Chains A and B, each alone.
Chain A
């Protein structure tokens, strides 16, 4: 049984989490393979919630699978698909089944997904969601009624260090810290200078919180350029795109793994932040190779 993520946060000096993306369907076979492969090698496994607003097997479902197979899941909740009643109900259910790590996200907009005519909810935003989890932790629901059986969640949030302009993001980040979070998993990082700059601001705001740098695996130059245009919050600098373009045919993926490894190694050696969150979107099986490339 993996140690609880909350323990890992307290004890380990370099935390590694990875992302398990659910499938678009009810066949859990592939997910189970990823869980078996990764559960022992990372401190916790995030499960995305309809990532990029594309409908998939629910995040809570996959978390239960991870729990059943002895892994340590992090439940990701977005405010796009559920209003405050549904979110509170899901949190109670998750906790009752042992899932007690939650990443509070605003969520991508409906327009970038595959159900573009759906009615977006956004009853809450990420900061309000963090306060909501705290309210539940204190034994009450948002309407102020007592809970029969309380909860105790380890709360996480995200941040965008490479945002331009950075000012508004820092204001938002400060609000999240004021709300109280145990860990931060940032959006994709490719420019370590930007990360350092962000960390300076972050450390001024809060010494304690554990910040994990988001590493998105690049598969090829075309995919990197595509992500720049269409995936919110990701900005791949041109020099990485060129590096990928120069890589000989068919070796784009291994070049991507090498880049990811290099980034992680540098973050670790220079102690830029407290760990990494590896997002190998759709290529969870490559995470072990990335870890090796990073010397972990």
Chain B
């Protein structure tokens, strides 16, 4: 699931300077689940913007809308089609894909991102998410006991661990973070499959997915 985080208001205000009526567009899918850009967050950001501009002469006028899934053209047009003509700029609370879908459809109006899309992840506990997959296009999990070294090891090593592991099997860059390769070692040891870690792995094909990636279904 895509995880994102709201930008600080200062940054958003700078983007919107010069525009008076704004459409704040949320998305009901990934960014709702990670509490970043759902309908509730649209309401909160709109309140903040109105409060911020309440001092000025003619303050901001804000339209609020939430698209079912902001990376689908039909859904964007269906939800925002009639509101965009009434505004000067669109503040999208979708992930990067959402922002660009909206920008491609309404080319006449500037579209600004209100979120920073951070990673593909899963919930650690309610309200906290961790990165699990780097979408590298050439999955290595079968050889690492289901723990991804490309993303969860700070250096993305295939023949880990590095020499910098801290006492207690923690990562070099953060004493709280478990070293991915120590986790892999323990799990493979438990499964009696340590030979997987002992095997040498060739340098990775970092162009398995030519960026920007494009996938076409066989029958498309």
Contact = CB atoms under 8 A, between A and B. Distances in A.
A and B touch in the complex (CB under 8 A): yes
Interface of A: 80, 84, 105-109, 111-112, 120, 122-128, 131, 142, 158-160, 163-165, 167-169, 171-172, 174-175, 178-179, 187, 232-233, 235
A120 B150 CA distance: 13
Contacts of B179: 168
Interface of B: 154-169, 172-174, 179, 181-182, 184-185, 189, 194, 197-198, 200-203, 206
B202 A112 contact: no
A165 B172 contact: no
B188 to A, nearest CB: 10
Contact of A109 (B158, B164, B169, B182): B164
B197 A171 contact: yes
Q: A105, A109, A142, A160 — which one has the most chain B CB atoms within 10 A of its CB?
A: A109
B162 A106 contact: yes
B169 A112 contact: no
Contact of B198 (A105, A123, A175): A175
B198 to A, nearest CB: 6
Contacts of B185: 165, 167-168, 171
B212 to A, nearest CB: 17
Contacts of B184: 168
A112 B173 contact: yes
Nearest to B206: A123
Given A109-B172, A165-B182, 10 more contacts: A105-B163, A108-B172, A125-B157, A128-B159, A128-B201, A142-B203, A168-B181, A171-B198, A232-B162, A232-B166
B163 A160 contact: yes
Contacts of B160: 125, 168, 172
A81 B187 CA distance: 31
A171 B161 CA distance: 9
Contacts of A178: 200
A124 B163 contact: no
B155 A106 contact: yes
11 contacts: A105-B163, A106-B155, A122-B157, A128-B158, A159-B163, A168-B197, A169-B163, A171-B197, A171-B198, A187-B163, A232-B166
Nearest to B197: A171
